[in-house]
Structure 1
Amino acid sequence: MQVVIFRLNKEQFAVETSKVQSINDAMKITRVPKAPAHIKGIINLRGNVISILDINLLMDVAKQDNNENSEESIIILEMEDELVGIVVDQVDEVLDLDESIIEKISDDNRKAYVQGIINFKDKVVTLIDIDKLFSN
């Protein structure tokens, strides 16, 4: 399994690369009047209009204090033949990993979109099921 590891605030998350269309530098997001709170706005990427979702709000992760050295990126994801984007604080790396290192969590105390926890020697990464996150 191959995953893209990204950072929201100081936490690290991963999403399967099979869902990732592209990773782009931050760009101007056009706000949409009266859009739900979880929609940050839209961008025009190579002629495609793409909705940008507020993943911090969807996952209940506090936003990082914006400073001049923030390296925001937009990850474009393919969801049921539709492209959507999420703004992340930083994309750390793309990794191949063995599915056996993914720890499943007991169902009663986890959020529905958490697929598991990836334990590395020096860090813990939450693997998210992007389909389940967006379906809520």
Structure 2
Amino acid sequence: MQIVVFKLGDEHFAVATEKVQGINDMMSITLVPKAPNYIKGLINLRGSIKSLVDINLLLNVDTSDNQENIIILNVGEEEIGICVDEVEEVLDIEETSIQRLETEVEYQYIKGIYKHDEKLLTIIDIDKLLNI
């Protein structure tokens, strides 16, 4: 399995590359009045409008001012963007090396934890996180 590793604050997360449509530098965000608080706004990506989700809010991670990248993800039938501090790398890992959580009921959106170079990566099931 391949994963894209990204950083939010001091924490490291990953999503399966099969969900990743693209990685872009930060761009201007258009705010949407009265949108739910987890919607950061809209971006115009090569003429296509995408919703931008505040993944920090959904994962309960403090938002930094250093968000440099937008990851475009395939979620259900849509392409949705998330702002991340930094996209670090793409890794090939064995699914059997992912440690599952004991409390899966509460955190169904977490596929598990993977240890890489002294870092613990939380692997996210983006469909479950966004309730698709």
**How many angstroms does 1:72 deviate by?**
1.2
Q: Which moved more, 1:83-92 or 1:70-79?
A: 70-79
**Partner-residue secondary structure (3-state), 2:5:** strand
**Partner-residue secondary structure (3-state), 1:135:** coil
TM-score, length basis structure 1: 0.92
Q: For the residues of structure 2 that align with 1:3 and 1:126, how far apart are their CA atoms?
A: 11
**How many angstroms does 1:71 deviate by?**
5.3
- Tell me the amino acid that sits aligned with residue 84 of structure 1: I
Q: 1:71 to 1:63 in 2, by over 3 A?
A: closer
Alignment-derived partner of residue 4 in structure 1: 4
CA RMSD between the two structures: 1.5
State yes or no: 1:103 paired with 2:99: yes
Q: Aligned match of 2:114 in 108, 112, 118?
A: 118
Unaligned runs of 5+ in 1: none
- Tell me the amino acid that sits aligned with residue 32 of structure 2: V
Alignment-derived partner of residue 56 in structure 1: 56
- Tell me the amino acid that sits aligned with residue 61 of structure 2: V
Unaligned runs of 5+ in 2: none
Q: 1:75 to 1:105 in 2, by over 3 A?
A: same
**How many angstroms does 1:23 deviate by?**
0.2
| Contact residue 67 and residue 83 of structure 2 kept, 8 A | no
**Partner-residue secondary structure (3-state), 1:30:** coil
Identity of aligned residues (%): 51
Q: Superposition pairs for residues 31-70 of structure 1, below 5 Å?
A: 31-64=31-64, 66=65, 70=66
TM-score, length basis structure 2: 0.94
4+ residue runs over 3 A deviation: none
Q: For the residues of structure 1 that align with 2:42 and 2:21, how far apart are their CA atoms?
A: 16
1:83-119 deviations in whole A, cap 9, x for unaligned?
A: 1000000000011111121001113675221110001
Q: Which moved more, 1:82-91 or 1:117-126?
A: 117-126
State yes or no: 1:134 paired with 2:130: yes
- Say how many residue pairs are matched: 132
Q: For the residues of structure 2 that align with 1:97 and 1:3, how far apart are their CA atoms?
A: 8
Q: 1:113 to 1:44 in 2, by over 3 A?
A: same
